[in-house]
Amino acid sequence: MSNFSKLYLRARNRSKQTLHRSDISEVLLEKSARSTFDVFLAMPKDDLEDIVTISFNLLENPSFHMSAPVFERLAITYRKQHDYTSEVDSINAFLNDYQPLYGGEMWKDVFIPRLRKAKNLLNKSEKSNF
């Protein structure tokens, strides 16, 4: 099972409703990946549940080829929720499964520093829970 599949299943299991929970998501599912992405970029950044929902909807669409900005927003959203495990997993999913499709070093300068910070925050949160 890929990193993305594990992340998706965990997000789906954690949600009390399915990932297609909002009316906005229902409408967006009927539109093309490009128009969904445009709406995704224009969404208020404090609408955390819809960001996660739309992110997974975009990433599941095989005609969508702009995964890096979606994974970046997903990582930002998980950090705002203090869900550092999902943030680390989403970054690893991008770096392992999607970044090679971009080739070379593209997007590594964005995700590798974010991964280091997320791991530090995860370690701090785990220590504070003891």
The answer to whether the beta carbons of residues 126 and 107 sit under 8 Å apart is: no
Residue 96, pLDDT > 90, answer yes
Q: How far apart are the first and last CA of the chain?
A: 31
Phi-psi region of 103 (alpha: psi -120 to 50; beta: other; left: phi over 0): left
Q: What is the pLDDT of residues 18-63, one digit of tens each?
A: 444 455 555 555 455 666 677 677 777 777 787 888 888 888 877 7
Listed residue (76, 78, 81, 71) closest to 107, CA to CA: 71
pTM equals 0.72
